[in-house]
Copies of this chain bind each other. A is one copy, B any other.
Amino acid sequence: MAPTNTNECQGSAELQVKRAPVVVDGVTLNGPTLDIQEAEGFLRDAMFIIMEEAVRKATDVKEKVCEWHSPEQLKELLDLDLREGGEAHPQILQRCRDAIRYSVKTGHPRFFNQLYAGLDPYSLVGRFITEALNPSLYTYEVAPVFVLTEEVVLKKMVELLGWTEGGDGIFSPGGSVSNMYAVNVARFQRFPEVKELGLSAMPRLVMFTSQECHYSVAKAAAFLGIGTKNVYVIPSDKRGKMIPAELEKQVQKAKVEGALPFMVSATAGTTVLGAFDPLEDIADICERHSLWMHVDACWGGAALMSSKHKHLLQGIQRANSVAWNPHKMLMAGLQCCAFMVRDQTNILQQCHSAKASYLFQQDKFYDVSYDTGDKSIQCSRKPDAFKFWLMWKALGTKGLEARVDRALAMARYLTEEIKKREGFRLVMEPEYTNVCFWYIPASLRSMSDGPEFWGKVHAVAPLVKELMMKKGSILVGYQPHGDKVNFFRQITISPQVSREDMDFLLDEIQSLGKDL
């Protein structure tokens, strides 16, 4: 009888005759219909393309950082439709080439658009390994290596936070989710009954964060049922740092209203300005009012690797929880996001466990405290710590420190160059690697500061960015911010970036924007 599943990879016909077929429900069952050894040829061809196009060319400064097409154009170029029949290997390999070609090269030395960039070869190998092994990090029994590497990495990160008594943690799928963890743990620590009874049985809970915080704090409040209006937004100073006196005022205000303040989410390395909240002062206020102190150090946490720059996070040792994403400044690859708590009472487990008996059996033959999955809000979970562990092994703590120091020195270099150049204006002196600046085309330089001037400046960055993207020369971010019109935000991270790329950035903006 003919096999019904002939669309599989090569070799199926040959393999099937080797064994005695049985027909069940109209399906012929005998040998495997997918032979991985046979599929290896395809994998090798694909890897050749990936190494050539997605690694070598994609990181070459002489190549484009992106090849721009509108969504409509790109749909035509890609032939995205999914059909009844499959496609042969040569066609699939061409699809791989096309997908890479039309993708933005985030590992390119001139990709400056986000708070991550570059390509670290050790992290990448770690990721290839975990993708090939496809583990899920709920139990030791199915992910022994990855449970242990997560434990070691978290322990080391906890040390860097200065939590001398230790702590606990978990890797999560993004800093936004880490901030959600913080909200949940904070309210559970204050009201353990919230897990069972929910918030409708609670007084109105209020949390505090600065106006410069990441937008995920609002998302967390909405998602966790706190409500965005119960996030009291604390003004920041001109450098983007939360003003402690204003925090104190808002806590008092919430109390007067009869609400229950329960946590502060401070930020170490804000998204736009790269500002660090004054953690010691905030810790004082949190202690005074028994508030959970969370620090969103997703972006700024990397400075803890540097003896030169770790002072930026002075006070983080007093935090109750911290979110820190090594996939950003430390280049561990998306995603690599640690959420850590200083607590010693296994609060992650208590707060999140659901004790599924099919997964977390208590009658296993090994120490089930290594089955860490019930600490998580996820069930299947990717082993995101492993790639960071491998990279850390390869570079050493000193190597990571050198990268951070170099990135900050590069930002300092760019800052000084901006000051020297006509037509460029700094938004503020950077503390971190966020360098924020306007470009003022010659036509506007004689205008006096005022709404008309700023209205015109507002249009510059989007236009320059459009030209850059269509040229494929640079990807850099811009945004309006508070009362400030659109400005560029240059982020330097990767050791692939050279000083000349900084010069090129300014040259390119000047060249594309000079006649606007």
Contact = CB atoms under 8 A, between A and B. Distances in A.
A128 B489 contact: no
B136 A498 contact: no
Given A32-B498, A100-B133, 10 more contacts: A29-B499, A36-B55, A50-B128, A85-B396, A99-B390, A116-B380, A142-B475, A173-B378, A184-B222, A218-B354
B5 A403 contact: yes
Interface residues of A, number: 197
3 A-B pairs closest in CB distance: A198-B227, A225-B225, A7-B399
A288 interface: no
A125 interface: yes
A180 interface: yes
B399 A86 contact: yes
A27 B406 contact: yes
A83 interface: yes
A361 interface: yes
A436 to B, nearest CB: 11
A132 B54 CA distance: 6
B410 A29 contact: yes
A261 interface: no
Given A227-B195, A354-B215, A106 B133 contact: yes
Given A82-B392, A148-B71, A223-B224, A398 B7 contact: yes
A99 B352 contact: no
A397 B82 contact: yes
Contact of A196 (B223, B227, B392, B469): B227
Interface string A59-91: 110000000011100110010111111110100
Contacts of A56: 36-37, 40
A124 interface: yes
Interface string A371-404: 0000001111110001001101111111100110
Interface string A22-52: 1011110111111111011011101100110
A216 B82 contact: no
A107 B39 CA distance: 13
A135 to B, nearest CB: 6
A331 to B, nearest CB: 9
Contacts of A347: none
Contacts of A202: 200
Given A84-B398, A361-B479, A142 B122 contact: no
Contacts of A466: 364-365
A281 to B, nearest CB: 26
B378 A334 contact: no
A156 interface: yes
A55 B132 contact: yes
How many copies the complex holds: the figure is 2
A177 interface: yes
A378 B36 contact: no
B134 A219 contact: no
B227 A197 contact: yes
A450 to B, nearest CB: 21
Nearest to A29: B499
B133 A86 contact: no
Contacts of A109: 32
A247 B218 CA distance: 35
Given A156-B82, A390-B96, A131 B132 contact: no
Given A22-B413, A56-B40, A495-B5, A82 B393 contact: yes
A380 B124 contact: no
Contact of A358 (B145, B271, B497): B271
A223 B148 contact: no
B272 A358 contact: yes
B409 A43 contact: no
A377 B395 CA distance: 33
A245 interface: no
A201 interface: yes
Contacts of A224: 223-225
A148 to B, nearest CB: 6
Contacts of A216: 354, 379
